[in-house]
Structure 1
Amino acid sequence: MPRRLILSATERDTLLALPESQDDLIRYYTFNDSDLSLIRQRRGDANRLGFAVQLCLLRYPGYALGT
């Protein structure tokens, strides 16, 4: 069964694009003390970085990598 496209390519790109304004970047991608505590609980630099990136993407635009 063919898949239906709900959004056009342009609409999808607009929806999933990362914010461009400095205010939005600060609002969505700045960690508070609670976030930093969660990040520090991960083992290894690579895991901490990956967890931090996933946390940011879940905030905005609201999806995890690989989805």
Structure 2
Amino acid sequence: MARRTVLTGDERHRLFDPPVTDREVARHHTLSPDDLEWIDARHGPSNQPGAAVQTALLRHPGFGWRAGEVVAVAVLRLLAD
């Protein structure tokens, strides 16, 4: 029996591929004041960048940083700013 897919290949790419423009990166990965407060309150300085990346990736594409995954430079630059 053939396996059914919910999403077409194009739909899957639009949903899960990393954003490429600065505008898309900012829209998907900007942290809220509550996020920043949570990161500051519960994580030491050495862990804050990782917590920020995890939080941003949970927003888009919807799952955390996985082993071996390379985070886009544009995302890291936004979070560092």
Q: What TM-score do the two structures reach when normalised by structure 2?
A: 0.57
Residue type of the alignment partner of 1:56: A
**1:13-33 Cα distance to aligned partner (Å, 9 max, x none):** 835321012221111111221
Q: After superposition, where does 1:55-66 map in structure 2 within 5 Å? A: 55-66=55-66
Q: What TM-score do the two structures reach when normalised by structure 1?
A: 0.66
Residue type of the alignment partner of 2:65: L
Higher relative contact order (CA 8 A, sep 6+): 2
Cα distance in 2 for residues equivalent to 1:29 and 1:65: 13
Q: Which residue of 2 aligns with 1:44?
A: 44
Percent identity of paired positions between Structure 1 and Structure 2: 34
Runs of 5+ unmatched residues, structure 1: none
Q: CA RMSD of the aligned region, Å?
A: 2.4
Q: How many residues align?
A: 58
